[in-house]
Amino acid sequence: MIESPFMSLYRWFRQQYLFRVKALRLWFVLLFSLVFSAILVLQTPGVSFAQMNRPEIRGVWMTINDNVVLSDRPRMQEAIAQLDKLNFNSLYPVVWNSGYATYPSAVAQAAGSPYLHRGQQGHDILADLIAQAHSKGMKVIPWFEFGFMVPSSSELALAHPEWLTQKRDGGNTSEGETGEVVWLNPFHPEVQQFITNLVVEVVTQYDADGIQFDDHMSLPREFGYDRYTTELYRRETKRNPPSPQDAAWTKWRADKLTNYMVQLNRAVKARRPEAIFSVSPNYYDFAYKLHLQDWKAWVNQNIVDELIVQVYRRDLRGFTGQINRAEIQEAQQKIPTGIGVLTGLRKDRIPMAQIWEQVQALRERNLGMVFFYYESLWDMAPERPRDRQDSFLAMFPESVDRPVRPKPAIVVPTPKPTASPDPSNPPPSTPFPVESIPVLDPSIPPPWYEGSPGSVVQLK
């Protein structure tokens, strides 16, 4: 049957009408979404567009648990692109964990740690991550997560028992988040040289923007009763080491650790003056009294360029109580300061509402934020990944610069030399020899990575 010209014209007009109705409906939905997002941001207490446009640390820690993403180049590129789209500006990838370097480290291998870590495509993960992030305008500050803490079964601990410190009862182990751990003696010159060599290796071999040390760049107060440290203490004070809680003994050890951090800062700045020397400790009373980490002294001695205090609290009252502490406000007047915010763990999924209210509390106080950790941003969460990503985009609607430490340049004080109590065994004056070491088969994973990103998790 032949359709009449009038019917054909009618059908054409009807198709045009339906097409325009659908187009208008789509534009209406889009406009509504934009208006709703704007209203949500404007009605959030304590937040203004001026606040969101000011310089702000917006970072995320990338842990061993994120290795599945980091070791696969396409997935890493996708992750960096997504973080850039959501206007993050800082990445903190782990480079030292469980006594192993997560990059091809000649220094670690020379000291007895035989695993050099590369990606699935045989690439250097850290170098690739830095290149990808820099192409998006993000800063990369490699993170020495475990500091002086290593598993008791690690090759490093077994190869250097003389590097380990001990408790008053002679024991040298404690229970860490990943099992039984031991502590490298932060007062021993060979340990100091080893850690310094690792740090210098990263800042000289990679185009990193800085280096970060966290709450494990410390020593639990129960430790420090090894032979080296007790002899040094007797030499300097004419006393035997007292109980772990003794105030003078605590200060002596904390001052020694501060003295080493001054030396470490000088080593970094001598090679990369522009490198950001970042620290991420616990709140001060806990850090100093229980872990000998006098980070207030580090800030006051001008060796810290950035402070990120870990405040992993579920309730807003506890969270704000910590970020209101006087030492955070004091540091904020001198250097860029932020707070570590927990976005979730494998067995503890954090709702986006909690993250949002904590970020708003930080913005009310002009503090930056670094999230722990990448996998829990949206892949390991109670909400759908797309919903979490949309929330972060509403939180960070525009890109901003990171705050910079005020000039003039810092003058780092000269550290006091520490004499070895054994004249026949003086501290090494040169770094460990770095020989030509072949890269191991990338298909063989290191022992701390057992095929599942949940096999090793560092809880803060």
- CA distances to 104, 186, 276, 393 from 192, rounded to whole Å, are 20, 6, 20, 42
pLDDT score recorded for residue 22 = 59
pLDDT score recorded for residue 416 = 57
pLDDT score recorded for residue 338 = 98
Q: Please provide residue 38's backbone torsions phi and psi, each rounded to the nearest 5 degrees.
A: -65, -45
DSSP state of 32: H
Q: Which of 146, 154, 78 is nearest to 112 (CA)?
A: 154
164: which 2 tokens? Answer: 């380990």
pLDDT score recorded for residue 101 = 95
How many whole angstroms separate alpha carbon 370 and alpha carbon 310?
Answer: 9
The answer to whether 340 touches 280, Cβ cutoff 8 Å, is: yes
Q: Does 56-395 carry CATH code 3.30.460.20?
A: no
DSSP string, 33-95: HHHHHHHHHHHSTT--HHHHHS---EEEEE-GGGHHHHTSHHHHHHHHHHHHHTT--EEEEEE
Q: Which of 408, 150, 144, 95 is nearest to 277 (CA)?
A: 144
pLDDT score recorded for residue 24 = 60
The count of residues in the chain is: 460
DSSP H or E segment with residue 257: helix 247-271
110: which 2 tokens? Answer: 């020379």
176: which 2 tokens? Answer: 């860490």
How many whole angstroms separate alpha carbon 341 and alpha carbon 313?
Answer: 8
Partners of 339 in beta bridges: 309, 369
pLDDT score recorded for residue 9 = 62
Q: Which of 308, 265, 147, 279 is nearest to 217 (CA)?
A: 147
Regarding pTM above 0.75, the answer is: yes
Distance of CA 319 to the CA centre of its chain: 19
pLDDT score recorded for residue 17 = 65
pLDDT score recorded for residue 432 = 39
Angle, alpha carbons 383-92-125 (nearest 5°): 100
Indicate the residue type of 423: P
Q: Please provide residue 306's backbone torsions phi and psi, each rounded to the nearest 5 degrees.
A: -155, 135
SS3 content of the chain, % helix, strand, coil (to 5): 45, 15, 45
Residue with tokens 């106080």: 365
The answer to whether 111 touches 99, Cβ cutoff 8 Å, is: no
Q: What is the pLDDT tens value at each position of the chain, 460 positions in all? A: 555 666 666 665 666 666 665 556 645 534 444 444 444 444 444 444 445 589 999 999 999 888 889 999 999 999 999 999 999 999 999 999 999 999 999 999 999 987 767 899 999 999 999 999 999 999 999 999 999 999 999 999 999 999 999 999 999 999 877 789 999 999 999 999 999 999 999 999 999 999 999 999 999 999 999 999 999 999 999 999 999 999 999 999 999 999 999 999 999 999 999 999 999 999 999 999 999 999 999 999 999 999 999 999 999 999 999 999 999 999 999 999 999 999 999 899 999 999 999 999 999 999 999 999 999 999 999 999 999 999 999 999 999 999 999 864 444 555 555 554 554 444 443 343 433 333 333 334 333 333 333 333 333 3
DSSP string, 225-238: -SHHHHHHHHHHHS
pLDDT score recorded for residue 53 = 80
316: which 2 tokens? Answer: 């807003």
Distance of CA 413 to the CA centre of its chain: 26
